A = this chain, B = another copy of it.
Amino acid sequence: MKFLTFYKSTEILSMLKFLKIFFAVCFIFSCTKQSNELPKDVKVSHPNLILTQKSVSEIKSNLGSIPLFDKTLAAAKREVDLEISKGIRVPIPKDMAGGYTHTQHKLNYASMQKAGVLFQLLGDEKYAIYIRDMLLEYAKMFPKLDRHPQIRSYARGKLFWQCLNDSNWLVFTSQAYDCIYDWLPKEQTEYLNKTLFKPYANFLSIETPQYFNRVHNHSTWGNVAVGMIGLVMDDDDLVNSALYGLKKEEVDLTAKDNDGGFIFDKEGKAGFFANLDSPFSPDGFYTEGPYYQRYAMYPFLIFAEALQNKKPELKIFEYKNGVLIKAVDALLNLTDADGEFFPLNDGQKGMSYYTSSLVSAVDIAYYYGAQKPELLSIAKKQNKVQLDATGLSVALGLKEGKEKPFIKKSIELTDGSKGDEGGIGILRHQKGDETLALVMKYTGQGLSHGHYDKLSFSFYENGDEVLQDYGLSRFVNVEQKNGGGYLKENKTFAKHTIAHNTIVQNETSHFKYKYAVASKNHSEKYLFDVSNPAFQVVSATEENAYIETKFHRSMIMVKDESIEKPFIIDIFKVNSNKKNQYDLPFYYFGQIISSSFNYNSPKTLSVLGNSNGYQHLWKEGAGIANSESIQFTWLDNKRFYTLTSATNKNDEVILARIGANDPKFNLRKDPALIIRKKNVKNTIYASIIESHGTYDPVKEVASNAYSNFSKIKVLKDNTNYSAIKIYFKKGKEKLLILSNSDNSKNKKHTLKIDTKEYNWFGSYYYN
Contact = CB atoms under 8 A, between A and B. Distances in A.
A313 interface: no
Contacts of A661: 601, 603
A251 interface: no
B480 A594 contact: yes
A606 interface: yes
Nearest to A697: B350
Interface stretch (A5-13, A16-24, A698-706, A730-738): A698-706
Q: Which secondary structure dominates chain A's binding surface?
A: loop
B663 A601 contact: yes
A593 interface: yes
Given A479-B705, A593-B481, A348 B700 contact: yes
A666 to B, nearest CB: 8
A607 interface: yes
Nearest to A638: B350
A92 interface: no
Contact of A478 (B480, B620, B659, B695): B695
Given A601-B663, A665-B591, A476 B657 contact: no
A393 interface: no
A475 interface: yes
A594 B605 CA distance: 25
A498 B635 CA distance: 26
Contacts of A700: 348, 351, 476-477
Interface in A578-594: 591-594
Interface string A598-619: 0001011111000000000010
A699 B355 contact: yes
Given A352-B698, A700-B351, A700-B477, A605 B592 contact: no
B665 A478 contact: no
Contacts of A705: 98, 478-480
A296 to B, nearest CB: 15
Residue among A478, A481, A593 with the most chain B CB within 10 A? A478
Contact of A479 (B607, B662, B702): B702
Contact of A605 (B354, B604, B701): B604
A304 B706 CA distance: 40
B701 A477 contact: yes
A668 B670 CA distance: 12
Contacts of A475: 591, 593, 635, 695, 702
Nearest to A662: B601
A702 B604 CA distance: 37
Contact of A665 (B481, B592, B603, B701): B592
Interface string A504-525: 0000000000000000000000
A347 to B, nearest CB: 11
Given A479-B705, A604-B604, A669 B657 contact: yes
A491 interface: no
Interface string A658-686: 01111111001101000000000000000
A606 B604 contact: yes
A614 to B, nearest CB: 14
A108 interface: no
B697 A354 contact: no
A633 interface: yes
A349 interface: yes
Residue among A355, A633, A664, A698 with the most chain B CB within 10 A? A698
Nearest to A655: B665
A350 B593 contact: no
Interface string A17-47: 0000000000000000000000000000000
A168 to B, nearest CB: 12
A635 B477 CA distance: 13
A481 B700 CA distance: 14
A478 B592 contact: no
A147 to B, nearest CB: 24
Contacts of A594: 480-481
Nearest to A703: B103
A263 to B, nearest CB: 25
B633 A480 contact: yes
B478 A702 contact: yes
Given A480-B705, A700-B351, A702-B478, A618 B591 contact: no
A319 to B, nearest CB: 29
Contacts of A349: 697
Interface string A605-644: 1110000000000101100000000000101001000000
Contacts of A660: 603
Contact of A669 (B356, B476, B607, B669): B669
Residue among A621, A661, A665 with the most chain B CB within 10 A? A665
A475 B593 CA distance: 9
B668 A591 contact: yes
A567 B481 CA distance: 24
Nearest to A590: B668
A700 B601 CA distance: 40
Interface string A458-479: 0000000000000000011111
Interface string A189-221: 000000000000000000000000000000000
A655 B664 CA distance: 11
Interface in A236-281: none
Interface in A680-694: none
Contacts of A633: 480
Nearest to A593: B480
Interface string A411-446: 000000000000000000000000000000000000
A355 B349 CA distance: 34
Cβ-closest 4 pairs across A and B: A350-B697, A605-B605, A601-B663, A592-B665
6 contacts: A98-B705, A350-B638, A477-B700, A478-B702, A484-B702, A604-B606
Given A352-B698, A475-B593, A475-B695, 5 more contacts: A103-B701, A349-B697, A351-B697, A478-B593, A484-B702
